[in-house]
Amino acid sequence: MALTKADMAERLFEDLGLNKREAKEMVEGFYEEIRDSLANNRQVKLSGFGNFDLRDKKQRPGRNPKTGEEIPISARRVVTFRPGQKLKARVEAYAGSKQQ
């Protein structure tokens, strides 16, 4: 089961005592503010968690994998996530020992 916005709102209700409406609005706002910043070409840095960076890609040659036809992949801006040291260490420690 994946973690969803509803789970996060529930946690805000349980741990911080926000009412359900406030909790839902906070979780919604959290992702909306990050999206807005990125849409305005501003990187987002959340210390301890990671950074959302923006990269401008030039047009490059591509191919339709089905037909083999050559079609250019247009220039675009993409979001990349760089996990911070703390998050990397937590994921490595637990998932590594658990699943290997």
Partner 1 sequence: MTKSELIEKLAARQTQLSLKDVELVVKCILEHMAQSLAKGERIEIRGFGSFSLHYRAPRVGRNPKTGQSVELEGKYVPHFKPGKELRERVNSALEENG
Three-state DSSP state, 61 = strand
Confirm or reject binding of residue 62 to partner 1 (CB under 8 A).
no
> How many Å apart are CA 39 and CA 35, to the nearest integer?
6
| Alpha carbon distance 70, 68 (integer Å) | 6
Interface with partner 1 includes 20 (CB under 8 A)?
no
| Residues 41 and 54 sit within 8 Å (Cβ to Cβ) | yes
- Cβ proximity to partner 1: between 60 and 77 the closer is 77
Which stretches of the chain bind partner 1, using CB under 8 A? Answer: 1-5, 7-8, 11-12, 15-16, 18, 22, 25-27, 29-31, 33-35, 37-50, 52, 54, 56, 75-81, 83, 86-88, 90-96, 98-100
